[in-house]
Amino acid sequence: MDFAPTVLPKARDYDTLYREFRWQVPAAFNIGVAVCDVWAARDPRRTAIVHYTPDGRSEDISYGWLREKSNRLANTLRAHGIKRGDRVAILLPQSPEVAAIHIAVYKLGAVALPLATLFGVDAISYRLGDAGAKAAITNAAGVVKLAALRDVLPELKLVLSIDGAGEHAMSFHDTIARASDAFTPEATGADDPAMMIYTSGTTGQAKGALEPHRVLLGHLPGVEFVHEFFPQAGDRLWTPADWAWAGGLLNVLLPGLYYGVPVVARKFEKFEPEDAFALMAKAGVRNAFIPPTALRMLRAAPSPRGRHAIDMRTIGSGGESLGAETYEWGKTALGLTINEFYGQTECNKILAGCAAIGVSRAGAIGKPVPGHRVAVIREDGSLCKAGEPGQIAVQRPDPVMFLQYWNKPEATRDKFIGDWMTTGDQGVMDDEGYISFVGRDDDVITSAGYRIGPGEIEDCLISHPAVALAAAVGKPDPMRTEIVKAFIVLKQGTPPSDKLASEIQEFVKTRLSAHEYPREIAFIDEMPMTTTGKVIRRLLREQV
């Protein structure tokens, strides 16, 4: 089976890969054409998406189907006054329609605005209002949310529902069926806006990171690196992450379609480890992006060995620190090395591991992906020495880097120190070029003169046999500035007790050090998380 040309050099050692890599970014580029029309012209029957429905059935979605649906939708949007540069919201779970909608928006030259289905009315209202969205495509549940916002979103002129007509919403399928299936894509440049993804900061409302069409090309070296010289014969991609998240959209869906590798789609109401194991086996998933929290949930579940015929080639994980315990679990339970990677919505997949060439180290994020210059810097923008903590930063220009924060020029300027785009994440680079994550600027705990990153503590906590999930935050303390407080979700069937809390404290004290152990422990029923699976430590800090 043929694939799109790879971007990494043919070398199989890191230093040569990094040294020989050269970006090839054309002046004219359109994501929708690259991920759909190119393949549909070659073989319209080629499988693009393998869709698993809630009742367990699967259907193969072809590139020809995506081209037809996206062309009809692009014509429909244009007929309703949606033009180049207008924002089109997508409020849907994983489904073939989501892919077709993205492709249509890109071919129209408009800007895709993906929104997580778990968002409440306030979150949706803010994002649609801030972006000035002209259209929204959703399902019946989304129609209900949007109906309550009509009065406060005067610019929202068109709502389409894939579940049929509803309050102030037209039927997606019926409406596009009346449009032509022929459409000439807009001639977009690589730097023209393609999508806007809202990302939460440490303060204030979420900011819209405006991404250009070249952002897909900027992800390709990282995709090939993390998935060990992807694509290869038999590869098949899947992620439990919402495609509204940069991780699901730009690490899996769009690269898979670009390369011609089938992408597995399934709507999950809630991540369930047993369902995930079963899907990976049934769908023949070979390559997956699974966030660390989801991996920890898989780790806490019964081993899949002997129950599910899982035959994975690669797993990539990012979004928060993976940790040594989960890293080792991947080798034991799944028989492969989890390749950790790092990035942000503003500049994603810039650090990574690739175990196939020996770039892998427990507790480290990885090394700079070929094509990206990443460093640990001081407050003045100078480079830290090996072993010296500082802020992880990436140098511009870089094809994967965002254009700007929507309507926030000051925030955009503040993101940079000279040509270094800062991440707000503390890290350390060793003398071999590996970068280890210490913690977010606002998550770093200062105790008795020590600066403590929560990741190492959390990794130790979840290695305790009673712990399913854990998060560590700093609690103000008059003597030590802060003490470490841990919030813990216990494994099913394990009752909380003072004795267990003391046992866990001693466990961490002996595994790490006396200044890092949690002086307070709170057992909770559910860990607060974002829709992308990250722990919301801010909410935990409010409870200390």
pLDDT of residue 532: 66
pLDDT of residue 270: 82
Instruction: Enumerate residues 6+ apart whose C-beta is below 8 A from 215.
Output: 194, 195, 250, 399, 400, 402
Secondary structure, 3-state, 64-104: HHHHHHHHHHHHHHHHCCCCCCCEEEEECCCCHHHHHHHHH
In angstroms, the Cα distances linking 156 to 125, 303, 401 are 11, 48, 29
Contact criterion met (CB below 8 Å) for 375 and 393: yes
d(CA 284, CA 312): 8
The CA-based angle 123-127-131, given to 5 degrees, is 175
pLDDT of residue 202: 47
Pairing mode of beta strands 520-523, 481-490: parallel
Secondary structure, 3-state, 126-141: HHHHHHCCCEEEECHH
Structural domains of the chain, with CATH: 1-29+214-371 (3.40.50.12780), 30-212 (3.40.50.12780), 443-541 (3.30.300.30)
> Tens-of-pLDDT digits for all 544 residues of the chain?
699 999 999 999 999 999 999 999 999 999 999 999 999 999 999 999 999 998 889 999 999 999 999 999 999 999 999 999 999 999 999 999 999 999 999 999 999 999 998 888 888 999 999 999 999 999 999 999 999 898 999 999 999 999 999 989 999 999 999 999 999 999 999 999 999 999 875 456 789 999 999 999 999 999 999 999 999 999 999 999 999 999 999 999 999 999 999 999 999 888 899 999 999 999 999 999 998 888 988 998 888 887 888 999 999 999 878 888 899 999 999 999 999 999 999 999 999 999 999 999 988 999 999 999 999 999 999 999 999 999 999 999 999 999 999 999 999 999 999 999 999 999 999 999 999 988 777 787 878 767 687 887 898 899 999 999 999 999 998 778 889 999 999 999 999 999 999 999 999 988 777 778 999 999 999 999 876 677 888 899 988 8
pLDDT of residue 449: 65
Neighbours of 305 (CB within 10 A): 12
Contact criterion met (CB below 8 Å) for 364 and 322: no
d(CA 470, CA 248): 24
d(CA 291, CA 304): 18
Return the H-helix or E-strand segment holding 429.
strand 420-429
